[in-house]
Amino acid sequence: MQVIKNIKQMSSLSDKWRQEGKKIAFVPTMGYFHNGHLSLMRKGRLLGDVLVVSIFINPIQFGPKEDFKEYPRNFERDSALAQKEKVDVVFVPDEREMYPPGYQTFVEVTKLTQHLCGLSRPGHFKGVATVVAKLFNIVKPHFALFGLKDYQQYLVIKKMVEDLNFDVQIIGCPTVRESDGLAMSSRNEYLLPEQRGAALSLYKSLKMAQDLFETGEHNAKKIKAEIINFIKTFPYTQIDYVSICDPETLEEIDEIKDKALMALAVRVGKARLIDNLILEVRK
Ligand code: AMP
């Protein structure tokens, strides 16, 4: 496994692979790997002849009061895990090379970002779309894998690829959970032992919404009200949003017909956690 820090070196290697007719699979990450990341790598390994994983904690997707500085990092452990997954290249670009002095170009997906996390984290998706566009131009993948835990991010990237004619296939991968249902996240690291139970309020809420929906409650406002009351029974929690929305446009819906996305963001102590589920009429 190669570790590449230099943008030109990564780009030239991808050019060489493409000339040889190799299919490149790519998993962009911010590191501190858990099984969610590894599941993306496994899928990428199956799809591509070569597999690139990037680790880059992208400063421009963090707000001024967010956790950029504290974001967990452990490159030694990450590279050992990536090697186990038979990753060909770990690409770890330098921040100054990604955003040199005078940098001034950004990518903005305008509508999908006006919902959910886009409202509570202004500028976040502009940072995400920009770094992913840059990484696509450097790594030149045929396939790029994203987790559906970050459902809005997946939609934003798909839209960017469609609108800007990137020649890459975006693949959404299911959320990997702990045995009790908590969605794996690098930010779970922030949870104190006494907050771990409260972190489960997100998954329990999704299950509760699914039960309500399956037993005939299709009124989104009523489901949301129940969920909000439920989360408030957990200590350490502060709700950012609870949304039932169209899974393609992310616009809020009143009455669930065939399908809806239930998405929520809750602060549990220092950790801002997100999770989601598709509510669907089973045929
Ligand atoms: P991150 O390092 O948190 O930026 O995540 C890198 C990629 O891993 C993104 O595409 C995430 O959606 C994905 N990911 C994060 N957590 C999970 C999870 N629990 N299950 C599946 N994919 C995940």
- What pLDDT score does 281 carry? 84
The verdict on residue 81 lying in a domain is yes
Contact of 237 with 205, CB cutoff 8 Å: no
Residues 168 and 192 in one domain: no
Selection from 196, 137, 124 nearest residue 165 by Cα = 137
Stated as kind and residue range, the H or E segment containing 128 is: helix 124-139
Q: Is the pLDDT of residue 207 over 90?
A: yes
| Domain with 199 in it | 186-278
Cβ of residue 119 lying under 6 Å from some atom of ligand 1: no
The CATH number for 218's domain is 3.30.1300.10
Among 26, 27, 29, 180, which residue has the most ligand 1 atoms within 8 Å of its CB, making it the best to mutate?
Answer: 29
The answer to pTM > 0.95 is yes
Residues 151 and 194 in one domain: no
**Number of domain units in the chain:** 2
Active site residue 37: yes
Residues 39 and 163 in one domain: yes
Cβ of residue 40 lying under 6 Å from some atom of ligand 1: yes
For ligand 1, the distance from its centroid to the CA atom of residue 201, given in whole angstroms, is 20
Residues 169 and 190 in one domain: no
Residues 109 and 229 in one domain: no
Q: What is the 8-class DSSP label of residue 167?
A: -
Cα–Cα distance measured from residue 252 to residue 262, given in angstroms and rounded to the nearest whole number? 10
Structure confidence by residue, pLDDT tens digits, 77-111? 999 999 999 999 999 999 999 999 999 999 999 99
Q: Is the pLDDT of residue 282 over 80?
A: no
Cα–Cα distance measured from residue 45 to residue 107, given in angstroms and rounded to the nearest whole number? 29
For ligand 1, the distance from its centroid to the CA atom of residue 42, given in whole angstroms, is 13
Residues 160 and 259 in one domain: no
Structure confidence by residue, pLDDT tens digits, 104-153? 999 999 999 999 999 999 999 999 999 999 999 999 999 999 999 999 99
The verdict on residue 50 lying in a domain is yes
Residues 145 and 203 in one domain: no
Q: Is the pLDDT of residue 56 over 80?
A: yes
Cβ of residue 146 lying under 6 Å from some atom of ligand 1: yes
Cα–Cα distance measured from residue 133 to residue 270, given in angstroms and rounded to the nearest whole number? 30
Residues 160 and 135 in one domain: yes
Selection from 184, 123, 191 nearest residue 156 by Cα = 123
Cβ of residue 149 lying under 6 Å from some atom of ligand 1: yes
Residues 139 and 61 in one domain: yes
Q: Is 174 left (phi over 0), alpha (psi -120 to 50) or beta?
A: beta
Longest dimension (CA), the chain: 58
Residues 153 and 203 in one domain: no
The verdict on residue 246 lying in a domain is yes
Mean pLDDT in the chain? Answer: 98
The verdict on residue 100 lying in a domain is yes
Tell me which of 150, 173, 196 is where a domain ends: 173
Structure confidence by residue, pLDDT tens digits, 244-254? 999 999 999 99
Contact of 31 with 68, CB cutoff 8 Å: no
Those residues with Cβ within 8 angstroms of residue 217's Cβ, 6 or more apart along the chain or in another chain:
223
pLDDT over 90, % of the chain: 99
